[in-house]
Amino acid sequence: MTRERRLSNEERNALARRLQLMRRQVLDELAGPTAPVQPESWAGAGEVHTHADQAEAEREQDLRFAEAAIDRARLQAIEQAIQRLADGRYGICIDCGQEIARDRLLAQPFAIRCAACQAAMEAAPGPR
């Protein structure tokens, strides 16, 4: 088995810039027109003429809430990766303490587990 090459300082800096860009993109998405409408503004949000219109409006609102929840979770993962970079803990698996493979970090800069621990976590029954 060959040993993975460590991230160079240049690669770490590039990942830090990429994480900042990803953070900005998620913040823009959360602030953009697809952001969820707050409940107090629903009354004047649009006219509902039929039950089908109402159901469609509720479905769209549910979709916006789900997308925003995904964006908030992604933002949290990105911000935690930025903090790990600042603390010198970036690229260390939270389960086994080994280095996360360079290629994995390049593909998913906010990864918190090595591939083996991630696969074990996903295979384990029960809540995650």
| Averaged pLDDT in 10-residue chunks for the chain of 128 residues | 71 95 94 58 57 86 91 96 94 95 94 96 82
Q: Is 14 among the domain residues?
A: yes
Does residue 96 form part of some domain?
Answer: yes
Residue range of the domain that includes 84: 9-37+53-123
Q: What is the pLDDT of residue 4?
A: 60
pLDDT of amino acid 126:
74
Domain-located, residue 64 = yes
68 belongs to a structural domain: yes
Q: Residue 95's pLDDT is what?
A: 96
Residue 3 resides in a domain: no
Q: How many domains, the chain? A: 1
* Pairwise CA distance, residues 60 & 36, whole Å: 9
Q: The whole model's pTM is what?
A: 0.73
Place of tokens 């010198």: 88
Give CA separation, 124 vs 20, 93, 96, 101, in Å: 32, 17, 16, 22
- What CATH number is associated with residue 32? 1.20.120.910
Q: What is the pLDDT of residue 115?
A: 96
